[in-house]
Structure formats: C-alpha cells, structure tokens
Amino acid sequence: MGEGEILLHIQDLDITFEPGAHAVRFLELDIRKSEIHGLVGESGSGKSVTSTAVIGLLPSPPAKISSGKIIFKGRDLLKLGKEEMRKIRGREIAMVFQEPSKYFNPSMKVGEQIREMLSLHFGMSRKSAVERVLELFNLTGLGKSNFGGGRRILNSYPHELSGGMKQRAMIAMGIACSPSLLIADEPTTALDVTLQMQILDLIHDLQNRLKMSILFISHDLNVVKHIANRVSVIYAGKIVESAAKGTIFKNPMHPYTKLLLLSIPDPEKRGTPLKTIPGTVPDAESIPSGCAFHTRCPYVRKICEKEIPALKEYENGHTTACHFAGETE
Amino acid sequence: MKRSSVSSRLMLGAVIYLVILGAAAIAAPVISPYSPTDQHLENRFAPPGHKYILGTDNFGRDNFSRMIYGSRSALLVGIVSVSIAVTIGITVGIIAALSTGIIDNILMLLMDSVLSFPTILLAITVVSFLGYGLLQVMTAIGVIFSPVFARLVRAEALSIKTEEYVEASRAMGSPAVKIVFLHIMPNLMGKVVVQASITFALSIVIEASLSYLGLGTQPPTPSWGLMLKDARNYLVQAPWMSIYPGLALAMTVLSFNIIGDTLSEKINPRIVKK
C-alpha cells in the first residue's frame, strides 16, 4: 500500500470520563485517502469512544476531551462550532452502526429516513431524492429482485426488512451523501456469519467504486484481515501498533498484537489448545503505570512499569509503541 | 384468543356508539323532532311514548331533542379540552425532556403542583375565576389535564432520546428540531392517543359535573349534566328525565375508556398477541 494523502489525523487525543476513567490516552491515528483502516481492540479499549469523538457526539459531561487534535481536511474538528460540526456529520463523515435494527426509527419508512438525509444536506427535492435513494439501493444490492426491488424497500418499515437488508439500507444511508470518511462501527458483529461475508464484500466493493476512506472498527481480527488495507491495534485507549495489513499479520512487533494473532483459531492447529492472553483489559479507571500492557506482557522488563513507550516508526509505515519492539521474539 | 375477540367486539361496539353519537351531534337540527328549548307546557312530564320518544321534562321540553343537542356540548368539551391539554402537555413535556436541570425542574414542579389538587375542586376554582360557561369550563379542564400529558410526554421523550435511531440521526447531522418532529414525536404519539381517549371521557364527566353544579353550561342551552340537575327533583315522578341522559353519559365515558384500554393493549409490546 502506497502512502496516500492523509484525510484524518488524530493527534494526542485524550479523553476522560468523570469521575476519573481514562478512556482514550494520547491516541494517534492517521487515516489516508481511499483506505480501509481497521481499528482493532477488545471491548472497552476505546474504539467506539474514539469514533464518537471524531463525529463530535461524545456526551459531555461526563466525557471530557482534555487534549488533542482531530484534523480532518485541514480543519480541527474539535475547534468547530456545533452548527459547523452538524453539517460535517452525515455529509463529510458518516457512520454505519452495529445493530441495524436499532438504528432505524421504527415508525418511519426506511426510504424516508435516507431521503431525509439527502434533503437535509443537499436540499434535494422529494423526487430527485427518491431517485437517489433508489440508486443507493442498487449500489448496496437492495435493488435486486429477490428483495422485491428497490421500490418495495423504499416503502418498507424497518421491521419489514431482514437484518441483512437493514444493514444494507444502513450502509446506503451512510454513503448517501458521498462522505469522504465512513466510520463503520462493528457493522457485521450483529449479523450471522454468511451475512457477515456479504456485507464485508459489499463494503469492500463500495470502497473500490466510491474511493472513500473507511474507518472499520472491530474486535474481530479475521474480519479486519478480510477487509482492511491498514490495521491499527488499540489497547487501553492507546494505539500500540499500526501497519499495512500484510506487514502486521506477517511481522507483528508489539507483544499484544503477537498474542492477539496467536489467539485466532487456526484450522491447521486442530487439537492443540488455543492460546489466550492471560488477564483482562485494564479498567479505564485504573490503567497500569508505564506501558499499560505490562501487567499481561510475557516480555515485561523493569522499564515497562515506569515509562510509557512512545509510538515510533520502525520500518516504512509500521509504527509500534513498545520499548523492545524488534527485540522480542 | 377468546379474550382478544371479546375486547375487539367491545371496541367495535364503542366505536359504533361514538360514530352514531358524533353523527347525531352534527346532524342535531335535522334529526331532533323538536327544538331543545321549546317548552310544551301542556305536556310537562310526559312519559316516553309516541309523541315524545323519551318523554318531556318539567318545562315540557322534549327529552330526546335535548339529549341530542346535549351531545354537542359533551363532544365539544372533549375535543377542545383534550386539544388544549395535549398541546400544553406535549410542549412542556418535550421542553422538559430536552432541557436539563433547572428548566426541567421548574416545569415539572409547576405541573406537579397542578396535579396535586383534586380535579373537580380545581376545576370549580378555575371556573369561578374565569366565570361560568362552556368556554371557561373547556379551558379549565384543558389546563387541569395538561400535566398528565406533560409527565407522559416527558417520560417517553426521555427514553426515546436515548434510542439508537436518535443517535444515528444525530450522527447523520440532523438538527435538534428535526429530531423532535421526526423521531421523538411520532414515537410517543401512540401513548398520547391512549391517554387522550381516557382524558376525553374524564373531561366529559367533569363538564357534566360542573353543569350539574350550575357552573358549566348555562340554561337553557342543553347539556347532559344540566339535564341531570333538572331531573334531580323528579327522580320518582319522572325517572326518564334522569335515566336517559345518565345512560348517554355513562355509555360515552365507557366507550372512550374501552377504546383507550384496547389501544393501550394493542400498542404495548409487553402484552404478547396471541
């Protein structure tokens, strides 16, 4: 993967929740134009908090962004006014959520909800907005006759659609205004496995056609392996490793990434016990000193307990935050 | 199965009764055999029969015609006071739900203090300030019942506010006003309609009570409560004077309650349909 122009640059982002929970700690993340960037981490590692901060919808209080910058197309999103930020949401940065059934208003037709966005951001007339929605349905595979055609979906209420159809509709809504960044927050987690693949392929295909960037959040390394160009691993609110997909899966540098990769079930190793990482993700209220992973790291040394390792570049485009990156084997 | 068929039959009956009542109220001048205020003094206390289907009262006025015209004030009171209550209630409820802290507290304290008075007593007090008459009664009832809606709307709006689809809508850049009208209001209307149906019945009863006490509809305008007031002295002598208006009143209230209950069962997701 070549070095593209940076679309979203998150720098030193630090988010705390009252009282005293440190959800995101000096996080650094770059998303380039036209890449699918996988953000992987366990539950509670700060993935969703980060994405919510990007679209400016963190509830504050209790959340507080104490420092950092979120530079999107040259503007710091954290410095924008409410109204400016509102115009960016949905138009420039859109979101696809985890459970499609909950993210549609049950008393409104699906087509209406998507059409609403178009008239909101583009002031489209009813007729042309409907045309655009049908076009979006075709793009997301909802126009197919086995779904009863786009017109039927247009006039359906959410409960009349299956989970997969709803997720397709949700994606249609996400790309409705041709955003430059689509944040997909575990878009396949609530779906069954066969559907997961279909939706992943759809996202991949749409990215190819529309050339937008996608921040793909997941806790599932297999899913990310399937779809992302670039992968960042987050642990306790901090990026610990970030690299192109090929690099990170072949040559992981951070012990956490290594252990994560080892804990993916592999059909060739049938019969041998699956490796697990001992311990649990630290609570955001009591993050260990120094390197947050030192409590679970098999290579832990004295310095790890005291100093927070900085995110450093080791080879071209491969950054990691470990004192002994490259030394541990 | 059995339960639901009984309740749907009741519902059907209630709706049919109310449709007939509504039609009668609209077409009152056409279908009533006499003017409701004409006194046929030679036929005072005439029992139900040929000439006067439901008899006459102490002034010889036709009971049937008075009941038909009386349905006008009953339904008018229901419609106007429920509209007032719903309008105030939704406005206050939504503002309270969307604002936090002090505004919410003040609004709800205001609503609670209205709610803490006995309804009839408060209605009498308000009417004695505003003066007697139908319009005053309707306003008073509307204001008195608005806290019920405000509480309901606030509670519903607070829960809808945290729904994922509201979050999604915000993530898509919808402004607050849009979210209120597109997502919050439509999803709480179901509960509001149920409450409105029950409040409708209550406001008819209160209007009848106030008229009975002489504070509501003023004679000679016909009203069921007023008819009952006149009938009070002739319970034995002319029972038709009290039975028919009383029956009309009871049936109307019952119908609205049945509709309210059935609707609330229908829209309550916790009651599983069999």
The number of beta carbons lying within 10 Å of the beta carbon of residue A175 is 20
Predicted confidence (pLDDT) at residue B151 exceeds the cutoff of 90: yes
Percent of chain B at pLDDT > 70 equals 96
Predicted confidence (pLDDT) at residue A208 exceeds the cutoff of 50: yes
Among chain A residues, the shortest Cα distance to B190 is held by A107
With cut-offs at 50, 70 and 90, classify the pLDDT of residue B159.
very high
Predicted confidence (pLDDT) at residue B3 exceeds the cutoff of 70: no
What pLDDT, on the 0 to 100 scale, is given for residue B253? 92
A226-235: average pLDDT: 90
Whether residues B187 and A105 touch (CB distance < 8 A) is answered with yes
Q: How far is B178 from chain A (nearest CA, A)?
A: 10
DSSP sequence for A107-140: TS-HHHHHHHHHHHHH---HHHHHHHHHHHHHHT
Homologous superfamily of the A1-87+217-329 domain (CATH):
P-loop containing nucleotide triphosphate hydrolases (3.40.50.300)
- Kindly list the residues from chain B whose CB atom is less than 8 angstroms away from the CB atom of residue A175: none
Predicted confidence (pLDDT) at residue B2 exceeds the cutoff of 80: no
B111-119: average pLDDT: 89
A283-293: average pLDDT: 84
Helix axes A126-139, A110-122, angle to 10 degrees: 120
Question: Pick from A89, A107, A108: which is nearest to B172 by CB?
Answer: A89
Task: Provide the 3-class DSSP secondary structure of residue A91.
Answer: coil
With cut-offs at 50, 70 and 90, classify the pLDDT of residue B270.
low
Q: Inform me whether the C-beta atom of residue A116 falls under 8 Å from chain B C-beta atoms.
A: yes
pLDDT tens sequence across B231-266 = 888 888 888 888 888 999 999 999 999 998 888 887
Q: How far is A110 from chain B (nearest CA, A)?
A: 12
What pLDDT, on the 0 to 100 scale, is given for residue B274? 40
Question: Pick from B165, B182, B186: which is nearest to A103 by CB?
Answer: B165
Enumerate long-range contacts of A49-54, CB under 8 Å, 24 or more apart. A49/A15, A49/A23, A49/A24, A49/A237, A50/A10, A50/A13, A50/A15, A50/A24, A50/A234, A51/A95, A51/A183, A51/A185, A51/A215, A51/A217, A53/A13, A53/A15, A53/A24, A54/A8, A54/A10, A54/A93, A54/A183, A54/A215
Alpha-carbon span B220 to A280, nearest angstrom = 82
Q: Inform me whether the C-beta atom of residue A299 falls under 8 Å from chain B C-beta atoms.
A: no
What pLDDT, on the 0 to 100 scale, is given for residue B15? 93
Q: Inform me whether the C-beta atom of residue A225 falls under 8 Å from chain B C-beta atoms.
A: no
Percent of chain A at pLDDT > 70 equals 98
Could you tell me which of A63, A70, A125, A111 has the C-alpha nearest to residue A92?
A: A70
| B198 φ, ψ (degrees, to nearest 5) | -70, -40
- Ordered by where they begin, the domains of chain B are 2-30+61-267 (1.10.3720.10)
What pLDDT, on the 0 to 100 scale, is given for residue A190? 78
Among chain B residues, the shortest Cα distance to A112 is held by B182
pLDDT tens sequence across A52-87 = 899 888 887 788 888 888 999 888 988 888 888 888
Question: Pick from A97, A105, A121: which is nearest to B173 by CB?
Answer: A121
Q: Which residue has the higher pLDDT, B34 or B158?
A: B158
pLDDT tens sequence across A129-171 = 898 999 888 888 888 777 777 788 888 899 888 888 888 899 8
Residue with tokens 């056609």: A209
A299-310: average pLDDT: 85
A302-320: average pLDDT: 85
DSSP sequence for B11-42: HHHHHHHHHHHHHHHHTHHHH-SS-TT---GG
Size of interface A-B (CB pairs under 8 A): 61
pLDDT tens sequence across B30-79 = 888 888 887 877 877 877 877 877 888 878 788 888 888 888 888 999 99
Residue in A80, A83, A101, A105 to test binding to B, most B beta-carbons within 10 Å:
A105
A251-269: average pLDDT: 85
Confidence (pTM) = 0.80
